[in-house]
Amino acid sequence: MELLVRRVLREEDRARKGLLGGYDIAPVSFGPAHTDPSVRGPDDPHTTRRSAQSPDDLHTIGRFFTALHPRRLLVVGESGAGKTVLAIELVLQLLEPPLTTGDPPHLVPVRLNAARWTVGRPFETWLAEQLVQDFGLAAGDAHRLVRDRRVLPVVDGLDELDPGPPAGTPRRAMGLLAELNRYSDLSGRRAGPVVVTCRADRYAELRAAGVWLDDAALIRLHDLTVEQIAVYLKARWPDGHPCAGHRDGIQAALGGPAGRAVHLALATPWRLLLTVTAVESGADPYELLRADPHADPRAGADAIAGRLLEAYVPAATRLTPRAAHRTPYQPDQVRAWLVHLAAHLRRQAARTAATDRPPPGLTAIDLVPHLLWPIGGRHLVRVLHCLFAVTLAVVAMLAFWTGSGAGDASPGMGMGMGMGMDGGAEQALTLALMTSWVGIVTGLSLSSWPAAAGGRTNVPHRRRLTGALLGALAGLPVGVLGGLAGLLLTGGRVFDLGFAIVAGGTGGLTLGTAIGLTAAGRLGAERMTVAEAIRAEPITLAGFGLCGALTGLAPLRLAHAGPAALVVGVSGAFVLAFALGVVFKITTGGWSMDAELAHPREALHRNPVIGLVFGLTGGVAAFLVFVMSRGLIESLACALVGGVAFGLSFGALAWTRTMIGLTVAATRGLLPLRLWSFLDWACEARLLRVSGATYQFRHRELQDFLTPPEEG
């Protein structure tokens, strides 16, 4: 519970700063909504007066929610009205009393992206998965918190589950509401606590379809009044500010002949932010806010909104220069790159809707580093990745062939014993195993969505050291036993007892240390069971087994072992390597939206590191085999080349696919060559934001505006 509270606070604080930057949001107030939001248009400051009492606002949302019975709340509002900010404030306010008193909270509010829910997924199961993926809890702890109703789900963005009108009935949103209506409290007799935010027009569609959130209080975020807009502008542009003189111009537009259209355009905090950003970059507010006083106010407001969105990217680009030694981004470049990212999100949404279990992060709003490769061209990138991986796989096998002496004629070894296979059969078996492994690498390189490794890099050194030590202690006896088994199967004809103990112990220590270091990075995160690991990566585990079989075959071949010893040795090596592959999968895990990530790219950066570590660890085992028939330098060279090629082709699939895809995209002018630097800058410019382990557009309206029309 304490761990979850700490991580929720950290994530919500980061999300709030990402949304608001260094400024406060414009005043957001709320009140009871009509049963059917479709019968009510935006507030009109010229005809609507608030009660004399102070309306509820962001500062009172926590107190408002705790007074509800049952604690079920649905928040509706226009696009950009501040629903996400209100959800963040609710989470933070509900956690304030426990932080003050030191007592554990009865309910831990957890904000969840509704867009990440998939149709047919039971809500409780999905909620527990989000606690694991978003906040790094152990699976058992997450399921227990959900079962005991110690979590308050704050489901943000119900409207983002389905494409916008006129795409048809919002079936995914309807499915999630049905799940939430089945979500009960601990007694099972009453509706469970939950908070949902949704755009007003989407909720009107859901009401028209006969679907709503049962037993929930319904509130609507109010539009900003002219007075509230003036207060915000005064706070942002105080007297003496370079833009202070524009306050009167904006106020004049609000009170002018087209004031209704101007107010409709500026009635939400998001639109007001667009306006002040454009003006601060040098735009003329009169030009931005012009509207025909004789035209329909809504049409005028739409035109103003279009100009504000059109001006936002150039304005943010000019207001956020890069470091002095770097070439500044040009507004046209930035817009073009963002358009391609937005188009990629539209394709992601389509693929998510077409599959029952999309990979984590494949949503309509999340830009996940290792899922960006299709921007370069889905089919082209997969073909290039396949060619690259196959080339590395062949290099790895050639290094093993050379180092193990598989192609050497060795008539003197084992002759006269009448117990070994002939050289041609041994070479054929070696080639068959190698070809099978290259085939597995080929298949993996063509897989749809290679996943980056889980875990974290910012792990305390003491924890890493402890993991390495425990791994080494566990690996040492296993390695020695393996060496002794090899000695028994080869009959001592290739190496002696001392070599078996030293080589086996060295290999076990190296592999155990590598696994322990990796496992330390996932302490406190979800652990797969053995069965789950096998189901998740059967082909990869078979590849591990084949590598083990090749390593075990080499000394048996040198000893000209008989058929029985050969079968036992190769099979045993396969099983042992397969088991080590299972341990590897469990310790590295899969990618998740873990809030403990120092950065969204962290998991992707770990992918080649883990691949190379295990590739070179396998290279140590290969080296110990190579020195049985080769010189020290030649053995070391073959092991090093083979280990690096093995690690990149077999253990760094996500990184390799991503780098190839982004290189192709940059070559085609679709993305910048240094994409990571651009994404960091875009977050600084408030064009994008970091959400856990993903990037997102600053606002869904900006994403939709930049999304190009469908081709054809």
Residue type, 308: L
- Give every CB contact of residue 30 below 8 A, 6+ residues apart in sequence: 55, 56, 57, 61, 75, 77, 86, 219, 220, 221, 222
**Beta bridge mates, 688:** 697
Max Cα distance, the chain (Å)? 108
Mean pLDDT, to the nearest integer, of 181-186?
A: 90
291 pLDDT exceeds 80?
yes
529 and 604 in a single domain? The answer is yes
Identify the CA nearest to 74 among candidates 185, 226, 176: 176
Strand, helix or coil for residue 29: strand
331/120 Cα distance (integer angstroms): 42
pLDDT at residue 222, rounded to an integer? 92
Residue 569 lies in a domain: yes
pLDDT at residue 21, rounded to an integer? 63
Whether the CB-CB separation of 454 and 594 falls below 8 Å is answered with yes
Residue 20 lies in a domain: yes
660/386 Cα distance (integer angstroms): 11
348 and 465 in a single domain? The answer is no
207 and 278 in a single domain? The answer is no
pLDDT at residue 458, rounded to an integer? 55
pLDDT at residue 37, rounded to an integer? 41
pLDDT at residue 641, rounded to an integer? 95
CATH of the domain at 97: 3.40.50
Question: Which two structure tokens, joined as six digits, stand for 411?
Answer: 């008539």
35 pLDDT exceeds 70?
no
Q: Which helix or strand (DSSP H or E) is residue 696 part of?
A: strand 694-697
311/278 Cα distance (integer angstroms): 6
pLDDT by residue (tens digit) across 629-654? 888 999 999 999 999 999 999 889 99
| Residue 593's pLDDT band (cuts 50, 70, 90) | very low
pLDDT at residue 66, rounded to an integer? 92
Mean pLDDT, to the nearest integer, of 79-94?
A: 91
pLDDT at residue 390, rounded to an integer? 96
175 pLDDT exceeds 70?
yes
pLDDT by residue (tens digit) across 294-328? 999 999 999 999 999 999 999 999 998 876 567 88
332 pLDDT exceeds 50?
yes
Q: Give the pairing of strands 108-113 and 151-156.
A: parallel
Residue 382 lies in a domain: no
pLDDT at residue 41, rounded to an integer? 39
Mean pLDDT, to the nearest integer, of 341-345?
A: 96
Give the residue from 280, 298, 319 where a domain finishes.
319
Q: Which helix or strand (DSSP H or E) is residue 151 part of?
A: strand 151-156
389 pLDDT exceeds 80?
yes
Residue 282 lies in a domain: yes
592 and 700 in a single domain? The answer is no
65 and 81 in a single domain? The answer is yes
264 and 364 in a single domain? The answer is no
485/575 Cα distance (integer angstroms): 14
pLDDT at residue 483, rounded to an integer? 84
Residue 259 lies in a domain: yes
Residue 496 lies in a domain: yes
Residue 390 lies in a domain: no
Whether the CB-CB separation of 434 and 550 falls below 8 Å is answered with yes
Report CA dihedral (57, 61, 67, 71) to the nearest 10 degrees.
130
Average model confidence (pLDDT) across the chain: 84
pLDDT by residue (tens digit) across 199-220? 999 999 999 889 999 999 999 9
**Which among 286-295, 360-369, 402-411 has the top mean pLDDT?**
286-295
Mean pLDDT, to the nearest integer, of 613-619?
A: 85
Show the domain range for 590.
424-653
Mean pLDDT, to the nearest integer, of 268-275?
A: 92
Q: At what angle do helices 538-558 and 632-650 cross, to 10 degrees?
A: 160
| Residue 670's pLDDT band (cuts 50, 70, 90) | very high
pLDDT at residue 47, rounded to an integer? 33
pLDDT at residue 55, rounded to an integer? 63
The pLDDT > 90 percentage for the chain reads 45
14/10 Cα distance (integer angstroms): 6
The pLDDT > 70 percentage for the chain reads 88
601/614 Cα distance (integer angstroms): 21
Question: Which two structure tokens, joined as six digits, stand for 276?
Answer: 């002040």
pLDDT at residue 233, rounded to an integer? 92
Whether the CB-CB separation of 24 and 195 falls below 8 Å is answered with no
669 and 520 in a single domain? The answer is no
Q: CA–CA distance from 615 to each of 520, 640, 646, 684 (Å)? A: 19, 9, 5, 37
pTM equals: 0.80
13 and 155 in a single domain? The answer is yes
503 and 568 in a single domain? The answer is yes
604 and 670 in a single domain? The answer is no
Based on the structure, what is the number of domains in the chain?
Answer: 4
Residue 392 lies in a domain: no
Whether the CB-CB separation of 617 and 640 falls below 8 Å is answered with no
74 and 174 in a single domain? The answer is yes
Check the CA dihedral 671-675-677-679 and report its sign: positive
Q: Which helix or strand (DSSP H or E) is residue 541 part of?
A: helix 538-558
pLDDT by residue (tens digit) across 542-568? 988 998 898 888 888 878 778 888 889
Strands (E), 12-107: 29-32, 56-57, 72-77
Give the residue from 203, 221, 239 where a domain finishes.
221
pLDDT at residue 420, rounded to an integer? 52
Give the residue from 200, 221, 242 where a domain finishes.
221
pLDDT at residue 423, rounded to an integer? 61
57 pLDDT exceeds 60?
yes
359 and 310 in a single domain? The answer is no
299/291 Cα distance (integer angstroms): 9
